[in-house]
């Protein structure tokens, strides 16, 4: 081995140190970059040469740049991000709806409701009095306003949730195309190599996956041959290789957003991530909160109107509704036939919703949507009235076995809710026109209505039923905020573990900086020494 060989060893030391310094600097530079995995230059002994008497080392070489990365922790992290995303969306929506039902203050529906019935007490004590009647109508208007404001609040929350869905779907699609692009680059770089080399690109892709898992539930797997990642949402491909399918939103017949991927409705398959949370919470809010609030108001309208229209006003009139009468809303899922539904007997109304379906033999079937029970059935004749549970339905036109109608006394219950009485004289405090003006017995009946168990409300009083709604939303919100805290803690735990393995320690990097600086200096010195040795020889 010649003296020049020493140059080579020195040079290899310089290069190795320089590379290691570069890696350290890269680490330091990315100390705060999310998703960055710390890297390390792997030093390796250069293969020695055989000399007389043995083998002589030829210096150091860089075997590769290693990424500190734990696949297991990463997959745990993805799973937990999905849980967290769901809890986050639930908490977000429920904590807002909860504020609408905030009975902790004194401004909720229960205050309006008790004020309204108190006003009836005062009318009962002074059935002749004009002021008490005016106050009653005022209180009724406040009650109407409160109920409408609450429904408005819930509907706004639901439409916000729908808009959120749009934004999230946009972001999911943009992430998907980014991942597809990265797939392309990674396969290009790693082509033919045995191990993963595209460290930074993989970090970027992992980081995108983290964000994606917060948004939507997915599964992913990597092609071992080329490093390309396939992402599946709701069992359909979102990203495969460099291609993507677009996640899209379609509004279904109930007015709700459904998720479509690759032409398939995948809404039911998504339970996690923010999208999963949104899908769960909007149904919950709609059936458990909005539906029950509407039922409460519908029941109130029904019971008050039945009692009120039986009574007599100071002007001797009877049969007056206190609130606007309940109206049935129908939905028509039939191209050929039309439906009209009217309330035939308000006292028989159950406040349940109904579906009408048909079979191939032109028979109709009326199902109670709440109980699922078959209410009535028979042969369909266009224009013949079908009567059940106080409702009269007339369907005209040609029907097919796929046609469907639905009838609801609840949908418009709050929308139509309003005080029908404007003339205080018409407030029916009396039970008979012979006993005017001192008869207060009808006012007494109405004032005692809140003590009665209402059949349509599962034999609860108005207030108990309302308390049920509040406790429902309170419990849901409480559970959501608890699970958000839990998921947040768990997430932070897993992030810590990832950080422990993959994170950059500035102290460590500072030490490495010194270490490789020193080894660079030593390598340089080695070249200088070699140079001096050569000088010595040249000066001979």
Partner 1 sequence: MRITSFMIFNQLTRSLQRNLEEMSGLYNQVSSGKKINKPSDNVIGLMRAMDYKLSINDNAQYKRNIGEAEAHQDFTEKIMSSVSDALIRAKELALQGVTGTESAESRAAAAEEVTQIRDHLLNMANSKFRDRYIFSGFKTNIQSFNAATFDYQGSSGIINTIVDKGASMPINIPGDEAFSYFFSSVVHSSADPGNTGGADVTAKSISDRTALTFHKYEINFTAPTTYDVVDVDTGATIISGATYTSGSHILFDGLDIVISDVFSAPQAGDIFRISVNPLKPSTLNYSSDADITANISNHFDLTKDVYEVSFDGAGNYSVQNVNTGAVVATGVYVSGGTITFDGLDVIITGTVTSSDKFFVSSTELIQLDEDGKYAHYYPGTGTTINADIRDAYDTTFLDSFSFSNFIQMTDILSSALESNNISRIRALLEPLNNALDQVTNVQAGIGARLNRLDDQTNRLDDSTLNLKTVLSNTEDADLTEVFSEISKTEVALEALRRSVAEVLSQSLLDFLK
Least separation in angstroms between CB 309 and partner 1: 20
By CB under 8 A, name the one of 342, 384, 471, 535 that touches partner 1.
471
Among 167, 223, 254, 451, binds partner 1 (CB under 8 A): 451
Nearest one of 409, 418, 417, 415 to 331, comparing CA atoms? 409
Interface region with partner 1, contact rule CB under 8 A, candidates 8-16, 77-85, 216-224, 489-497: 489-497
The helix, strand and coil proportions of the chain, stated in percent and rounded to the nearest 5, come to 55, 20, 30
* Residue 258 sits in the site that holds partner 1 (CB under 8 A): no
Residue 167 or 451: the one with the smaller Cβ distance to partner 1 is 451
Q: Which 3 state secondary structure label does DSSP give 352?
A: coil
Largest CA distance in the chain: 143
Q: Angle of helix 130-190 relative to helix 71-100, nearest 10 degrees? A: 170
Residue 417 in contact with residue 152, Cβ under 8 Å? no
Count CB-CB contacts under 10 A for residue 290. 24
Q: Does 481 bind partner 1 (CB under 8 A)?
A: yes
Q: 452 in helix, strand or coil?
A: coil
Nearer to partner 1, 121 or 148 (CB): 121
Q: Name the token pair of 358.
A: 């048909």
Contact status, residue 98 vs residue 480, Cβ threshold 8 Å: no
Q: How near is the Cβ of 484 to partner 1 at its closest, in Å?
A: 11
Options 96-104, 144-152, 295-303, 404-412: segment touching partner 1 (CB under 8 A): 96-104
Q: DSSP secondary-structure letter at 363?
A: E
Question: Using CB under 8 A, which of 53, 507, 537, 538 touches partner 1?
Answer: 507
Out of 155, 249, 346, 436, which residue is the one contacting partner 1 (CB under 8 A)? 436
Q: Is 130 in the site for partner 1 (CB under 8 A)?
A: no
Q: Which is nearer to partner 1, 106 or 195 (CB)?
A: 106
Nearer to partner 1, 112 or 267 (CB): 112
Q: Which two tokens stand for residue 226?
A: 């080329």
From the list 42, 43, 306, 463, which residue makes contact with partner 1 (rule: CB under 8 A)? 463
Shortest spacing between CB 458 and partner 1, in angstroms:
16
Judged by CB under 8 A, the residue of 483, 499, 524, 534 near partner 1 is: 499
Considering only residues 300-329, where is the footprint of partner 1 by CB under 8 A?
none
User: How far apart (Å, rounded) are the C-alpha atoms in residues 330 and 339?
Assistant: 7
Using the contact rule CB under 8 A, the part of the chain among 321-329, 353-361, 401-409, 473-481 near partner 1 is 473-481
Measured CA to CA in angstroms, residue 322 lies from 131, 310, 312, 344, 408 at distances of 17, 11, 12, 18, 21
Instruction: Report the site for partner 1 in 15-74 (rule: CB under 8 A).
Output: 31-32
Helix (H, G, I), strand (E, B) or coil at 414: coil
Count of residues of this chain found to bind partner 1 when the rule CB under 8 A is applied: 58
Crossing angle of helices 71-100 and 199-215, in 10° steps, is 30
Query: Which DSSP string do the residues of 225-237 spell out, in sequence order?
Result: TT--EEEEETTEE
Site residues, partner 1 (CB under 8 A): 31-32, 94-95, 98-99, 101-104, 110, 114, 118, 121-122, 124-128, 430, 434-441, 444, 447-448, 451, 463, 467, 470-471, 473-475, 477-478, 481, 492, 495-496, 499-501, 503-508, 510-511, 514
């Amino acid at each position: 081995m010649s003296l020049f060989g020493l140059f080579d060893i020195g040079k290899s030391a310089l290069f190795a140190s320089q590379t290691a310094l570069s890696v350290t600097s890269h680490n330091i530079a990315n100390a705060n970059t999310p998703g960055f995995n710390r890297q390390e230059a792997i030093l390796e002994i250069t293969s020695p040469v055989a000399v007389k008497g043995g083998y002589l080392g030829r210096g150091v070489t860089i075997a590769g740049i290693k990424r500190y990365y734990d696949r297991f922790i990463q997959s745990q992290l993805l799973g937990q991000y999905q849980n967290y995303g769901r809890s986050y969306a639930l908490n977000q929506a429920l904590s807002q709806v909860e504020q609408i039902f905030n009975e902790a203050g004194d401004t909720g529906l229960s205050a309006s409701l008790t004020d309204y019935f108190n006003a009836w007490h005062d009318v009962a004590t002074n059935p002749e009095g004009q002021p008490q009647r005016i106050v009653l109508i005022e209180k009724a208007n406040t009650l109407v306003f409160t109920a409408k404001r609450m429904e408005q609040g819930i509907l706004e929350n639901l439409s916000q949730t729908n808009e959120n869905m749009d934004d999230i779907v946009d972001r999911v699609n943009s992430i998907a195309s980014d991942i597809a692009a990265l797939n392309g680059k990674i396969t290009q770089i790693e082509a033919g190599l045995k191990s993963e080399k595209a460290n930074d690109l993989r970090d970027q892709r992992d980081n995108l996956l983290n964000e994606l898992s917060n948004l939507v539930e997915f599964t992913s797997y990597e092609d071992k041959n080329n490093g390309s990642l396939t992402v599946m949402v709701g069992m359909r491909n979102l990203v495969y290789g460099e291609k993507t399918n677009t996640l899209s939103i379609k509004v279904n017949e109930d007015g709700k957003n459904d998720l479509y991927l690759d032409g398939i409705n995948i809404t039911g398959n998504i339970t996690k991530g923010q999208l999963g949370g949104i899908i769960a919470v909007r149904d919950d809010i709609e059936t458990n909160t909005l539906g029950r609030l509407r039922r409460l108001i519908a029941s109130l309208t029904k019971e008050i109107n039945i009692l009120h229209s039986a009574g007599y006003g100071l002007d001797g009139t009877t049969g007056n509704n206190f609130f606007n009468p309940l109206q049935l809303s129908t939905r028509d899922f039939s191209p050929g036939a039309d439906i009209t539904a009217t309330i035939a007997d308000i006292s028989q109304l159950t406040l349940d919703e109904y579906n009408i379906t048909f079979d191939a033999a032109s028979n109709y079937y009326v199902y109670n949507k709440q109980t699922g029970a078959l209410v009535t059935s028979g042969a369909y004749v266009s224009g013949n009235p079908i009567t059940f549970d106080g409702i009269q339905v007339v369907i005209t036109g040609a029907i097919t076995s796929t046609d469907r109608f639905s009838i609801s006394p609840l949908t418009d219950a709050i929308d139509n809710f309003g005080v029908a009485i404007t003339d205080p004289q018409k407030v029916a405090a009396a039970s008979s026109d012979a006993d005017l003006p001192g008869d207060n017995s009808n006012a007494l009946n109405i004032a005692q209505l809140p003590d009665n168990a209402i059949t349509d409300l599962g034999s609860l009083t108005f207030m108990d039923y309302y308390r049920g709604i509040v406790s429902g939303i309170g419990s849901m919100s409480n559970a959501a905020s608890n699970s958000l805290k839990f998921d947040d803690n768990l997430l932070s735990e897993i992030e810590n573990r990832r950080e422990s393995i993959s994170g950059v320690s500035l102290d460590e990097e500072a030490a490495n900086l010194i270490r490789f600086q020193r080894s660079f200096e030593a390598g340089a010195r080695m070249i200088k020494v070699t140079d001096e040795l050569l000088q010595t020889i040249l000066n001979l």
